Structure 1
Amino acid sequence: MFEIRPASPADRAALYRICLETADSGEDATHLYRDPLLVGHIYAGPYLEFEPDFAFVLEGGDGVCGYVIGAPDTAAFEARLEHGWWPALRRRYPDPADVPPDLRTPDERLAHLLHHPHRANAAVLAGYPSHLHIDLLPRAQGGGHGRQMLECLFAALREAGSPGVHLGVGGRNTRAQGFYRHVGFRELARSPEGSLTLGLRL
């Protein structure tokens, strides 16, 4: 039996664990990072901290096995992180700016992101101001749970007045791309490296 429920502060460790175990284009990235918390600091923690009304977890079997998290106003969320989330992490993780990008370790690449976080494209935000991340462990995949979790978040975003939501997906993660297109997302932009920005009207 699986159950979708609002996330709580007590779910923080589970979100960080799932974030790490799906960080390699949907596969387990535990072996890639020396610091197991770095991925979660960027892609999970700030949502639980600043947008708890838009964070849901999937619980079943041995505990929490998936989550969907988002922010209704991406620009405002980025501003809040700049003042209330990144500064403390930047003190803990030095910027490896003196290390050439192609020589950085996976940890150093994430540390660089802490100091130079991604900023959403203004053209995308004009029609799709919200954004989300969703990750499910293998045992929770394939049963329609991902779609159900997205619908929970979509309902919360609609209630908050959002007209559209976007997300990013890596070029290698063809399984995720297919899933997002199946639930209604369409391509909005593609980076030179091949990663996609997909959007859905709410």
Structure 2
Amino acid sequence: MARMTHSDVEAEVEIRRYRPGDAADAAALRRICVRTGYNGGDARGHYRDPGVLPALFATPYAELAPELVFVADEGDGPIGYIVGAADTRAFYRAFRATWLPRVRDRFPELAGATDMDGELRGLLHAPERMIDAEVVREHPAHLHIDLLPRGQRRGLGTRLMTAYLDALRERGVPGVHLGMNPANTAAHAFYTRLGFVTLREPTEEAQVLYLGLRL
């Protein structure tokens, strides 16, 4: 029997568009987001309800911008995804108008809470806080990308990113940005290899590193 090579294994993973209305795809996005939502690791046990993570960073994209959602499918379902929006301001307007009413009761704000739960729920109820006016001026699109551990270090992140960036270019989008934890040096190195540059350093008020790429 012929021995399978690394390239043979990679060829078995399909990068495809998300399937709106497909319950399995929707569940996979939620699961992957939770399993990678705590500094790249499993968020279960670290939040009152880890479902706030996909409610903020995954499912609204599948609902509001499914044409820009791509998944890495190993054959038995997605093991990673990339989501985003071509126009950040328009996306968060739609988020507030049509998505927030669907989830606000499950994830009420936590008055006075300064932990991760409090911060995430605060963002959910005030999504405009995720807009940096200077950043979106020349980089109006944004993205989130996550891969389960078994999908990492296999070139799938680059393939997902390529599919997403090509879709943005087809729409004439001039630039894309992302916000990341500055302590995640592996992710920073990945984005740098793809050509992303620093747009805004973290501040005392917001420990977020903004990176961007002109398209």
TM value normalised by structure 1: 0.92
For residue 50 of structure 1, what is the aligned residue in structure 2? 64
Counterpart amino acid of residue 211 in structure 2: L
Q: Mind listing any 5+ residue stretches in structure 2 that lack a counterpart? A: 1-11
For residue 211 of structure 2, what is the aligned residue in structure 1? 198
How far residue 123 of structure 1 moved from its aligned partner, in angstroms, is 1.1
Give the 3 Å change call, closer, same or farther, for CA 51–100 of structure 1 in structure 2: closer
Conservation of the 8 A alpha-carbon contact between 2:180 and 2:210: yes
What are the residue-to-residue correspondences of 1:1-202 with 2, within 5 Å?
Answer: 1-9=12-20, 10=22, 11-60=25-74, 62-97=76-111, 99-101=112-114, 104=115, 106-117=116-127, 118-193=129-204, 194-202=207-215
How far residue 62 of structure 1 moved from its aligned partner, in angstroms, is 4.6
How far residue 111 of structure 1 moved from its aligned partner, in angstroms, is 2.2
1:121 and 1:40 map into 2 onto residues whose CA distance is 21
- Stretch moving more, 2-11 or 110-119: 110-119
Conservation of the 8 A alpha-carbon contact between 2:33 and 2:53: yes
Give the 3 Å change call, closer, same or farther, for CA 111–64 of structure 1 in structure 2: same
Q: Mind listing any 5+ residue stretches in structure 1 that lack a counterpart? A: none
Q: What number of residue pairs does the alignment pair up?
A: 198
Residues 51-70 of structure 1 show CA distances to partners (whole Å, capped at 9, x for unaligned) of 01100000116521000111
Q: Percent identity?
A: 45
1:100 and 1:64 map into 2 onto residues whose CA distance is 34
SS of equivalent residue, structure 2 residue 104: helix
Residues 31-69 of structure 1 show CA distances to partners (whole Å, capped at 9, x for unaligned) of 212423211000001100010110000011652100011
Structure with bigger gyration radius: 2
Counterpart amino acid of residue 109 in structure 1: E
- Stretch moving more, 12-21 or 118-127: 118-127
Over the aligned positions, Cα root-mean-square deviation in angstroms equals: 1.5
Residues 117-173 of structure 1 show CA distances to partners (whole Å, capped at 9, x for unaligned) of 233111111110000111011111112111111110011101111011000110221
TM value normalised by structure 2: 0.87
2:55 and 2:146 map into 1 onto residues whose CA distance is 15
